[in-house]
Amino acid sequence: MPNHPSRSLSVLMPRRDNIGLTLKQTHDLGMLIRVRCNMCRRTRHYHSADMLMLLGNIEVDSMMGRLKCEGCGLKDATEVYAVDLPASERQSLRVRTLTAIKIIRRPVWRED
């Protein structure tokens, strides 16, 4: 029986559906950003304009390790995709909107 290294690598590597697609391009196309946690199985949808304001104009695939799941708190388990849904699915979908950005100030001390 031949060894198939591509099968084992496909389990370890995340899927890259949106190669080269930036947040600005998703906003221009009217797409939503889907963030899914593989540990707690939560799925959230965000407006691409809100993500653009929060993270800047980055590739959608580079967001996979940057977003933390609000349910379990893990960063490594999130998958991020840009999705273009039909109007029938958008009507029943709950999309999260950015209302405010809070900046936490933490002091850093040094011994002299």
Global confidence as pTM: 0.73
- Reply yes or no on whether the pLDDT at 1 is more than 80: no
109 or 7: whose pLDDT is higher? 109
Closest CA to 51 of 64, 37, 38: 64
| Residue 7: per-residue pLDDT | 47
**Phi-psi category of residue 56: left, alpha or beta, with phi > 0 → left and psi -120 to 50 → alpha:** left
CB atoms within 10 A of CB 103: 4
Nearest CA-CA partner of 94 in 61, 59, 60, 46: 46
Dist. CA 23–CA 82, nearest whole Å: 9
pLDDT, residue 3, reads 53
The amino acid that residue 17 corresponds to is D
Query: pLDDT per residue over 13-61, tens digit each?
Result: 455 566 778 999 999 999 999 999 888 889 999 999 999 998 899 998 8
**Each residue of 88-101: pLDDT tens digit?**
888 889 999 999 98
The first and second tokens of residue 63, run together, are 């967001």
